[in-house]
Amino acid sequence: MSTMPPPYDTAEPLSGCRVTEAPEVLTAVVSQQDYPMHAMPALMDGTFSHLAAALAEVGVHPIGPAFALHHRAPVSTADLEVGFPVDAPLTQTLTLPSGYEVTGSRIPAGRVGWTSHLGGYGGLAEAWGAFTAALGEAGEQMAHPFWEFYVTAPTPETDPATLRTDLFSLLEPREG
């Protein structure tokens, strides 16, 4: 079975901010344009609770944690993809029991900045702010897309303080 390539395979959370090269990763996703931010839990639940089983039916398998990839900074709405990295291209459209349609996509290759956030999802906005500031202090310029890997799958029993979310942003190429 395939597994996530570096830097996505890191067993321990990353403190601070790191810049590295990341490979392209195939994905199976639900894509949404102008999706209301207040409805994000319904999108995540309606996708993640059904996607692995739907993929297995067509011989495609997740190779890493669930993620959300944003094509622009979300305000009241977001242009995003939510899904899983997969071991083979998804070549057909799948319809989940929630009604969402799943298609093949990818996380792009390139220079990325990344860090880990430990704690509940309510702290992600602050984590993104600190991450953005750290990249700026390092002389880096963020580009689109940017994405989150939900390394720790939430369950009703999970202590929110133990949730790990890895944050990634494509970076502008370096001059010279």
Quick: pLDDT tens for 117-146.
999 989 999 999 999 999 999 999 999 999
Whether residue 88 contacts residue 54, with contact meaning beta carbons closer than 8 Å, is answered with no
pLDDT at 176: 59
- Is the model's pLDDT at 2 over the cut of 80? no
* pLDDT tens profile 54-70: 999 999 999 999 999 99
- Is the model's pLDDT at 9 over the cut of 70? yes
Using alpha carbons, list the distances in angstroms from residue 89 to 25, 106, 111, 125, 157.
Answer: 10, 9, 23, 32, 34
pLDDT at 158: 87
Averaged pLDDT of the chain = 94
Nearest-angstrom CA–CA distance, 43 and 52: 15
Whether residue 128 contacts residue 135, with contact meaning beta carbons closer than 8 Å, is answered with no
Nearest-angstrom CA–CA distance, 142 and 21: 14
The count of C-alpha atoms lying within 13 angstroms of the C-alpha of 143, restricted to the half-sphere facing its C-beta, is 11
* Phi and psi angles of residue 129, each rounded to the nearest 5 degrees, phi first: -60, -45
Parallel, antiparallel, or unpaired for β 142-150 and 101-107? unpaired
Work out the number of other CB atoms within 10 angstroms of the CB of residue 48.
22
Map out the domains of the chain with their CATH numbers.
18-171 (3.20.80.10)
